[in-house]
Structures are given as C-alpha cells and as structure tokens.
C-alpha cells in the first residue's frame, strides 16, 4: 500500500462563503481554524488545539478553560437535550485534560416566539446536569433575535476546571508502542440524532450516549502514570480524533476494526443510512492513549465506571505510516482511515 498519493480530501478551491461543512468538525473546520481564527488571534493555547486550554494560575493548580456553542437539531433526543448536552459537552472538554470541573457560564440566543415552557425544560436540564457534575453556573447572558434569524435556541457554555500541577498530557508525550483505549461503543449520539431526523423508528429506541466523563477521566489522570492523552470523539467521530492525533504526534495510529465496539443496533442503523460509524459523533466516550505497562490499570479503572464498562484496547501507536490512521479490517486487509470532510451530520451538537 502506498500512501504517497493520498491527501486529505479538502476542496482546493477557496470557498467564498461559509458552508455547513465548515461546522462539521472535519477538514473544512480545521481549514477555517488554520486560515482565519488562528491567524487573527493566535495564542499558544489555541494553537495547541486541545479540547480545553490549560494555563498556569497558582502554585497548586493550573486552570483549564473550554467553550462550546451548541446548535443541535432536534433539541430533544432520546438520552438528552440541548440543555444537558451543553453541560456535559463542555465538562468533557475539561475532563479530557484531566481537569476537575469547577464552574460553568451559559449564554442563550433565543429566537422570538420560542415557547417559555420549553425554555423551562431546557434550563431545568442544564441545572440537573450541572448538579450531576457538581459544577455551579456562575454567570449567564440571554439575547433574543427576531423570528427566522435563529432556530429556537442556541446555547454557549464555557467551563472552568483545575488541573493538578505535574499532570502533563498531550500529543507530544505519545510514543511508539503506546496503546489506544476506548471507553465503550461508538456512534450512539450521532445515530440517535440521525434516526430522529430521518424519522426512523428503532425498537428499542436509539439513545444518545450523552454523559459526563470527568469522574472516569480524573481517576485515570490520578492513577495511571502511563496516561499520555485523552480525547472525547465528538464531531467527526473517532476518525477525526485519531487523524488529529496522528498528525500532531507524527505517528501512525493502527486500529483493529474488530476491536472497536459498536452496538448491533447502531451498526444496523449505520448500514441502513450508509454511514461509517467511525465518523459519527459520540458525546459520552473517552479515547485514551496509554503506555503498554499502564493498559491493564487503565482498563480496570475505566470498567469500574458505568460510562466505561465496555472499555477495551482498539489499537496501537506505530511508526509504520507517520501521520496516518490505518485500520486492519475484519478480512485482514488494511485501509486508510481518512479525516472526515464535508457535511455528514450538521448540527449534531
């Protein structure tokens, strides 16, 4: 197999306007970041492209901060709603940096005509999710836009957490031979949204995995010395995260397809809709890179938490094709796992 001719399928023409694909978490999202945002307000932390930025603050802790806008459609889905998602999504961005979440801020952009009863429901969902994570909502803002200039409601949350000094996680720590662990079956959030949108009725209903990961992540960070890095594979699924890690670590990520857990129902839905489950968003899964001698300890810890009960090793870091993700298929052949591009599932989170 030659990788010489392979290149990331981003359109080479400069699109003059924003397309849905710019928000899909794949190649065009990265291009937008590279060519616009990182150009105009570069900071070391932003350029590090971690899920949250970590800065020095005091003698014992570093401060982690992360922000996310949520525009998911539909706003309510089996397993959650835009309210709980906007809390857990931001908590998880802190969690994968090994941070203990402390506080949240929340800003609402409401469309004129939005039902107050639904606002109550969503605010209640925010409150319950925040309480579940023991974080306080410290500050908020609300704006209203005219009918047809929004879509019900959009939420932006920003999370603050603290990271014990001495905990160093990052792609620069990834070494050849490190193992790739996944906390459970993939594709559940994306397929729950997708089946809602397409009106597909599954029995039992496809449920989002939307859940907070900080308890599991904090246990891993404090107890597994060989932990190199954690990520939650949201937009763009495990394909996007693995490709980002392969690029930033300049290593090859080799995955055994048979090891990647997928619930049969999600697999069927993906086949029915012609979607690769590896590019489908998750909202309650953790991907961890751990040195070989830490694998058993890490898996033991993950499996103690309900959100990691099906944790397993899915692959290894090698030097075979640097900056690439390779999957060993069920038939023993190998395939390149490309960075997802284009619009797969807009407004998934």
Residues 204-263 within binding reach of a second copy (CB under 8 A):
none
Among 3, 10, 33, 297, binds a second copy (CB under 8 A): 33
20 binds a second copy (CB under 8 A): yes
Residue whose CB is less far from a second copy, 162 or 263 = 162
- Distance, in Å, from the CA atom of 2 to the CA atom of 203, rounded to the nearest integer, reads 43
Spatial CB neighbours of 267, under 8 Å, sequence gap ≥ 6: 277
The residue behind tokens 């058993």 is 296
| Residue of 27, 150, 277, 284 that binds a second copy (CB under 8 A) | 150
Q: Nearer to a second copy by C-beta: 150 or 294? A: 150
Number of residues that bind a second copy (CB under 8 A): 80
Residue 224: name the closest of 161, 173, 264, 270 by CA. 173
Q: Is residue 74 involved in binding a second copy (CB under 8 A)?
A: no
Q: Which of 166, 169, 164, 161 is nearest to 294 (CA)?
A: 169
Residue 117 binds a second copy, judged by CB under 8 A: yes
Interface residues for a second copy in 39-58 (CB under 8 A)? 39-41, 43, 45-46, 52-53, 55, 57-58
Q: Which of 4, 7, 12, 14 binds a second copy (CB under 8 A)?
A: 14
Query: Are the CB atoms for 211 and 284 separated by under 8 Å?
Result: yes
State yes or no: residue 59 binds a second copy (CB under 8 A). Answer: yes
Nearest-approach distance from CB 349 to a second copy, in angstroms: 8
Written as one string, the DSSP assignment of 253-321 is EEEEGGGS---HHHHHHHHHHT--GGGS--SS--EEEE-GGGHHHHHHHHHHSGGGTT-EEEEEEESSS
The DSSP secondary-structure symbol of 35 reads: I
Binding status of residue 120 toward a second copy by CB under 8 A: yes
Contact 161, 52 (CB under 8 A): yes
Tokens describing residue 245: 């890690």
Taking the least distance from each CB to a second copy, the nearer of 139 and 272 is: 139
> For a second copy, which residue of 6, 74, 134, 149 counts as binding (CB under 8 A)?
149
Contact positions with a second copy (CB under 8 A) in 76-105? 103, 105
144 interacts with a second copy by CB under 8 A: yes
The residue among 139 and 200 lying less far from a second copy, judged by its C-beta, is 139
Q: Does 143 bind a second copy (CB under 8 A)?
A: yes
Query: Does position 342 bind a second copy by CB under 8 A?
Result: no
CB atoms within 10 A of CB 114: 17
Q: Shortest gap between Cβ of 330 and a second copy (angstroms)?
A: 35
| CB 296 to a second copy: min, Å | 34
Q: Does residue 310 belong to the site contacting a second copy (CB under 8 A)?
A: no
Q: Is 341 in the site for a second copy (CB under 8 A)?
A: no
Residue 10 touching a second copy (CB under 8 A) = no
338 vs 188: CA distance, rounded Å: 21
Closer residue to a second copy (CB): 157 or 265: 157
- DSSP 8-state code for residue 171: G
153-164 and 61-70 beta bridge pairing: antiparallel
The reply to whether omega before 252 is within 30° of 0 (cis) is no
**Distance in angstroms (rounded) separating the CA atoms of residues 70 and 72:** 6
- Establish if 190 lies at the interface with a second copy (CB under 8 A): no
With CA atoms as reference, report the closest residue to 77 among 190, 224, 227: 190
Q: Which is nearer to a second copy, 13 or 330 (CB)?
A: 13
Contact flag: residue 66 with a second copy (CB under 8 A): yes
């Amino acid at each position: 197999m030659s990788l010489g001719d392979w290149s990331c399928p981003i359109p080479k023409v400069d699109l003059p306007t924003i397309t849905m694909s710019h928000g899909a978490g794949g190649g065009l999202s990265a291009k937008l970041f590279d060519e616009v945002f990182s150009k105009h307000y570069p900071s070391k932390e932003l350029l590090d492209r971690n899920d949250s930025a970590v800065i020095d603050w005091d003698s014992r802790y570093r401060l982690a901060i992360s922000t996310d806008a949520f525009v998911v459609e539909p706003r309510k889905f089996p397993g959650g709603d835009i309210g709980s998602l906007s809390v857990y999504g931001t908590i998880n961005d802190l969690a994968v940096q090994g941070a203990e979440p402390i506080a949240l801020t929340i800003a609402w952009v409401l469309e004129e005509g939005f039902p107050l009863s639904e606002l109550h429901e969503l605010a209640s969902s925010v409150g319950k999710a925040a309480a579940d994570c023991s974080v306080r909502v410290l500050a908020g803002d609300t704006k209203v836009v005219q009918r047809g200039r929004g879509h019900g409601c959009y939420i932006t949350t920003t999370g603050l957490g603290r990271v014990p000094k001495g905990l160093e996680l990052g792609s620069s720590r990834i070494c050849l031979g490190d193992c790739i662990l996944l906390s459970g079956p993939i594709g559940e959030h994306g397929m729950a949204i997708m089946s809602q949108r397409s009106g597909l009725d599954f029995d039992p209903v496809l449920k989002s995995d939307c859940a907070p990961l900080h308890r599991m992540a904090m246990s891993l960070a404090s107890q597994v010395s060989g932990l190199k890095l954690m990520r939650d594979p949201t937009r763009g699924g495990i394909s996007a995260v693995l490709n980002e890690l392969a690029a930033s670590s300049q290593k090859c990520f080799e995955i055994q397809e048979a090891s990647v857990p997928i619930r049969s129902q999600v697999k069927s839905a993906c086949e029915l809709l012609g979607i690769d489950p590896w590019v489908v968003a998750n909202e309650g899964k953790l991907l961890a890179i751990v040195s070989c001698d830490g694998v058993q300890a890490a898996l033991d810890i993950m499996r103690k938490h309900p959100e990691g009960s099906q944790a397993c090793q899915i692959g290894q870091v090698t030097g075979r094709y640097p900056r690439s993700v390779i999957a060993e298929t069920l038939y023993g052949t190998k395939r390149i796992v490309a960075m997802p591009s284009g619009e797969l599932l807009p407004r998934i989170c």
